[in-house]
Amino acid sequence: MLRLATWNVNSIRIRLPLLAELSKREVPDVICLQEVKAKEDDFPFDKIRQLGFENIALYSIPGYNGVAILSKPPLSNINKYPHVGRDDARHISAVIDDKFEVHNIYVPAGGDVPDAKNNPSFAYKLDFVDEATEFFSNKGIKPRLLCGDFNIAPSENDVWNHKALMQIVSHTPIEVEKLNRFFKKGKFFDAVRKIYPESEKIYSWWSYRNPNWQTNNKGRRLDHIWIDNELSSAVVGTKICKYFRAKERPSDHVPVIVELKI
């Protein structure tokens, strides 16, 4: 059995106590982090290894972005991938225990204006997803697991109000179309939706701007775990750790966990 968590921590140094709680309470074997916001010299390798994650793969830059794979099982074949001509630390992969290949990805947010002509950040996001689509259209060296903050909520039940958010970045038709193409071309399976049916509204992100997030529950599912179709039968459990959003100094994202019988 293997438990894997994905979590946009929005600063590993701020969220280190919560990472320790996640490790103790949910007991994951692998944790994929996004937005670590720490260059290699500042990354808390020793403290993370004290939590039991001896094997760490990090792709980071000073100040922002950054992705990491923390693993109790051995890591091999670690690779870092720039996309759309930018070396901005958004995609890292590693082979876990010589069994499968995990890719940890942080898709650009895209800014506030869903217009590729007038918003370079949105254009970059769309180009990033297109390039990732082509990248993952090829088979991996092992069965693949892709997870991370995709910054897109593709389904009507991945957002609190489909109609209200269709013109809001993260749920616009063009983003949904491109992410669905990515999913289909890569021949992926949505591990989280195996347990939570499509008819159920589920979220992994609640805005910092919403002080009443628990009451009105205006969330979005931006964090995903996809696996190769051949691994679909291995999924025996998933969990969205909503309780982490109510912690002291939380990230606006919460950990998402999948359990695989491998």
Task: Report pLDDT for 140.
Answer: 77
Q: Enumerate residue ranges in the chain where pLDDT < 50.
A: none
Per CATH, domain 2-260 is 3.40.718.10: no
What is the pTM assigned to this prediction?
A: 0.97
Task: Report pLDDT for 139.
Answer: 79
Tokens read off for 81 = 């991938």
Task: Report pLDDT for 215.
Answer: 93
Task: Report pLDDT for 92.
Answer: 98
Q: Which of 43, 100, 97, 101 is nearest to 68 (CA)?
A: 43
Task: Report pLDDT for 141.
Answer: 81
CB atoms closer than 10 angstroms to residue 7:
28
Contact 128, 83 (CB under 8 A): yes
Task: Report pLDDT for 90.
Answer: 98
Report domain extents, the chain: 2-260
Task: Report pLDDT for 51.
Answer: 98
Contact 34, 7 (CB under 8 A): yes
Instruction: Give, to the nearest 10 degrees, the angle between helix 173-185 and helix 120-135.
Output: 20
Segment 17-50, tens digit of pLDDT? 999 999 999 999 999 999 999 999 999 999 999 9
Contacts of 57 (CB under 8 A, 6+ apart): 68, 69, 71, 75, 78, 92, 94
